[in-house]
Amino acid sequence: MERKKLIPTFGCKEGRAVIMDEGREYYSEDILALSRYYSDNGADELMICDLSETDKDHDRTMDIIREVVRAIDIPVIAGGWVRRLEDVKKYLYTGAKATFLNMSLDDNADLLKEAANRFGSEKIYAYLPGLTWLKRIEEYAQLGASAAILDVLMDEKDLSRIPESPIPILAVCDHDIAGTITAYLRIPDVHGVILTVPEQLEGDCMNWKQELRKRGVPMEILESAVEWKNFKPNSDGLIPVIVQDYQTQEVLMMAYMNEEAFQHTLDTGRMTYFSRSRQCLWVKGETSGHYQYVKSLTLDCDNDTILAKVKQIGAACHTGARSCFFQPLIEKEYREVNPLKVFEKVFQVILDRKEHPKEGSYTNYLFDKGLDKILKKLGEEATEIVIAAKNPNPEEIKYEIADFLYHMMVLMADRGITWEDITGELANR
């Protein structure tokens, strides 16, 4: 059975998050913190509604959505200010998974078709603000919508009014009144619910998922492919856990789990260990706020060690260091060939030259000459790549590409762009 989605939502207006709950408005000044909270605590996707009233506020909101997309690990659905095709493009260019068009606006049916043809139907949703528009869902599907957002509060007895749908329906809910969320998700064509809930009151989606699972609703939760009974713990009933940063692969720490800690980790999505000194469960970050959010757990070939890849908040070590492994014992020189580390190392040298100019440095020469000189050199190196690719000796290509990448990094440093920005953009495509 297909697993259902939980999608928190909030409005964005004048740089603040606006959350509606039973007719009352809640505000959050820190949209990134709110978005990270939902992402880290079990949300499958996030929906942001642009509530701007002026062009200036709209432009600011677009920048915020772009920052949110880069900061979190779940897809974002964005919309609310769609009047022409260019507006659809702007939302999608923030990195949003999809944008939605309000079907109550007369011209948006034609715009929906145009947008689906231009950007692909998978990126276009139809927003239905009432039951009247639900009757036309077949038409919206034919025009190119790949999903429908049904924004109408319905009692459980009214759910029979939702017809069979050719496209998935995402239903808006504000509370689990009389099991309404459960009832929605039991409808085959309803693939998820959009939750309008206050920050950290009911926003922990992992808790919601565990409750819905108890009610028999299939949800995207953490489930181990191997049961604990097949693990091989030590004589104390413990399994060592090696912890890595899921993005950089940096080894952060090593700790132990017993069966209860392992199950608590699955239930909450937060790394939980067994403290041998205190003889009790230990949720990493419960005191310091330096939580570790699970990205993957892998069992070794002997079933006696776990490799955990996590999103680390703050420092992993109790000393305040990022990693517990910071005391060198021996070190032999070697040539680093990991692309991520090489790019970052070269980029850091370029940034250092910018901050601390060095006499005779070619990098500082480029910075001194300014943007036009950097762009001129970048264009020249791009041309050199084309010429090298036409020559019979393929060795020339790697040299020219290396030159191009260097000059590209100088441009990145000059314009304040990082490798995280670039890789984040690529990951969203």
Q: What does the H/E/C string look like for 244-260?
A: EECCCCCEEEEEEECHH
Residues 51 and 150 in one domain: yes
CA distances from 377 to 147, 342, 364, 384 (A): 46, 22, 14, 10
The domain boundary residue, chosen from 159, 186, 214: 214
**Which letter, b or e, does each residue of 172-211 get, where b requires 16 or more Cβ atoms within 10 Å of its Cβ?**
bbbebeeebbbbbbebeebbbbbbbbbbeebbbbbebbbe
Range of the domain at 409: 339-427
Whether 168 is in a domain gets the answer yes
CATH code for the domain in which residue 389 is found: 1.10.287.1080
Q: Do 23 and 168 have their domain in common?
A: yes
Do 201 and 268 fall into the same domain? no
Query: Which has the closest alpha carbon to 262: 294, 290, 287, 285?
Result: 294
Rounded to a whole number of angstroms, the distance between the first and last alpha carbons of the chain is: 28
Same domain, 119 and 254: no
In a domain, residue 220? The reply is no
Q: What pLDDT, in 10s, does the model give residues 376-398?
A: 999 999 999 999 999 878 788 99
122 confidence band (pLDDT: 50, 70, 90):
very high
Confidence of residue 293 (pLDDT cuts 50, 70, 90): very high
Same domain, 302 and 365: no
Are residue 29 and residue 55 in the same domain, yes or no?
Answer: yes
Least reliable range by pLDDT among 20-34, 212-226, 249-263: 20-34
Average pLDDT on 192-197 reads: 85
Residue 222 lies in a domain: no
CATH of the domain at 251: 3.10.20.810
Q: pLDDT tens-digit profile of 296-315?
A: 999 999 999 999 999 999 99
- Same domain? For 287 and 192 the reply is no
Query: Of the residues 214, 236, 265, which one is the last residue of a structural domain?
Result: 214
Both 256 and 348 in one domain: the answer is no
The pLDDT, as a whole number, for residue 339 is 82
- Asked if residue 237 and residue 185 are part of one domain, the reply reads no
How many domains does the structure of the chain reveal? 3
* Of the residues 214, 246, 264, the one at which a domain ends: 214
The pLDDT mean for the chain works out to: 90
**Quick one: average pLDDT of 68-78?**
94
Same domain, 271 and 391: no
Q: Residues 235-269: pLDDT tens digits? A: 999 999 999 999 888 999 999 999 999 999 999 99
Region 16-42: mean pLDDT is: 84
User: pLDDT tens-digit profile of 396-427?
Assistant: 899 999 999 999 999 999 999 998 888 877 77
Distance of alpha carbon 84 from alpha carbon 99, whole angstroms: 13
Domain membership of residue 223 (yes or no) is no
For residue 103, the domain's CATH number is 3.20.20.70
Biggest CA–CA distance in the chain, Å, is: 78
Rounded to an integer, what distance in angstroms lies between the CA atom of residue 395 and that of residue 229?
Answer: 55
Residue 406 lies in a domain: yes
Is 291 found in the same domain as 242?
Answer: yes
> Residue 288: pLDDT band by 50, 70, 90 thresholds?
very high
**What pLDDT score was predicted for residue 131?**
82
pLDDT grade, residue 154 (50/70/90)? Answer: low
Say whether both 17 and 103 belong to one domain.
Answer: yes
Decide if 413 is inside a domain. yes
Ranges of H-type helices in 41-151 = 55-71, 85-93, 108-119, 131-134, 137-143
Confidence at residue 201, expressed as pLDDT on a 0 to 100 scale:
47
